[in-house]
Amino acid sequence: MFEPAFPGRRLSGDPQLSERQRAVFGALLHLHGLAARPVGAERIARDGDLRLSSGSVRSALADLEGMGLVERRAGSTARVPSARGYEFFVRALLEPATLPAELEDAIDAQFASSAHDVERMLQDASRLLGSLTHQLGLALAVSLDRETLESLDVEPLSDRRVLLHLGLGAHSARSLVLELETPLDRTALEQVEGVLRERLLGRSLAQVRERLSDDLELARNAAVRIVARAASASWTRPVDVQLLSSGAMHIANQPEFASPQDLGGVLHAVESGDPLNRFMVRGIPGQAGARIGLSGPPALAGCSLVSFSLPGAIPGAVGVLGPVRMDYAFTLAVVERVGTRISDLLSA
């Protein structure tokens, strides 16, 4: 799944589950999450607290399999949630966890001594995320100044907020949420998009940033000027920090990565940075999302990435890498809290 899943964002093609199907699916998610093994209808009926017969559970599982939400492992009648099932669960069914106040305070305190040192703050973030989620904590900030702007899209979020999406070379991207001083309608934003594409495409991001601040042609059009000012205010030169990771011992304890070959493949992907660095920074800034069953190296196919793209000055992100079978409610809440705290400190 390339695009991240965000809680509460259902799609028009999502299946409509009956109460029984939803209950059986939830029980399967829970029981599979406990042991990382396929789960049969008999065990769901016995341990799922559903008050359903194994035959009723078996019928619901068949329906869910037909929807693509669950799948069988070779040689077994037991089932596991599919990557599509987990993605649907995160978007349509998940209620993010509410973190205890003492945990939120501990997260805030972690960054008190590193508030003015971006690299140290990101190192602290990767360690903290790894220890809290018992997965692999990740953090990065990247300098994109030399990347060429290949595409540009302006999408309205509200009358005074727009998403500026910049497509770069090597399939990377950068998104900025802009706060406008004056509201602009969709027609005006389409005109802005056309002007910005004409003046900025094909240039390096360093040149793009200079043009947003100094190009007289951009200043002639009032709507373009409003967007350009907002972009300049949100975008400054970032530090250059490679992908940081912490918690290899945690992920090594997960059943999915018990073999040295499986674990080695994941750690090699983390060490190389690509495509994880691209996945982490491509999202809606300021909101945690989950990518489930990652594309790229085969070792990442059984992994999920929960990440938070940092809004504002630093094009970077924090996140957690772990097996597709993870506690998404808690992980999303922790990643969002850590990312929000870092964003607040960077913008202070």
- H-helix or E-strand spanning residue 199: helix 186-200
Taking 80 as the threshold, does the pLDDT of residue 144 lie above it? Answer: no
- For the chain, the structural domain boundaries read 19-83, 101-143+239-347, 149-234
- Fold for the domain defined by 149-234: Enolase-like; domain 1 (3.30.390)
Average pLDDT, the chain: 89
Lowest mean pLDDT among 56-60, 237-241, 303-307: 237-241
- H-helix or E-strand spanning residue 276: helix 276-281
For residue 188, give Cα distances in angstroms to 165, 209, 225. Answer: 17, 21, 12
Q: What is the mean pLDDT of residues 275-302?
A: 89
Rounded Cα distance between 205 and 194, Å, is 18
As given in the structure block, the two tokens for residue 57 are 């559970």
Query: Are 91 and 8 a contacting pair, CB within 8 Å?
Result: yes
Rounded Cα distance between 115 and 345, Å, is 6
Q: What is the mean pLDDT of residues 241-255?
A: 89
Instruction: Give residue-wise pLDDT tens across range 189-242.
Output: 999 999 999 999 999 888 998 898 888 888 889 999 999 998 887 765 545 567
Cβ count near 77 (within 10 Å):
12
Rounded Cα distance between 33 and 226, Å, is 49
Residue 133 — φ and ψ, nearest 5°? -100, -10
As given in the structure block, the two tokens for residue 155 are 């999408």
Rounded Cα distance between 202 and 245, Å, is 33
**Confidence grade of residue 120 (pLDDT, cut at 50, 70, 90):** confident
pLDDT score at 38: 93
Q: What is the mean pLDDT of residues 265-283?
A: 87
Output the pTM of the full model.
Answer: 0.74
Which CATH number is correct for 101-143+239-347, 3.40.120.10, 3.30.43.10, 3.30.450.40, 3.30.1490.20?
3.30.450.40
Query: Are 121 and 111 a contacting pair, CB within 8 Å?
Result: yes
Rounded Cα distance between 222 and 33, Å, is 54
Residues in CB range of 228: below 8 A, 6 or more apart: 196, 212, 213, 215, 218, 219
Lowest mean pLDDT among 49-53, 97-101, 280-284: 280-284
Which CATH number is correct for 19-83, 1.10.10.10, 2.40.160.210, 3.30.1330.120, 3.40.50.200?
1.10.10.10
Residue predicted with more confidence, 75 or 42: 42
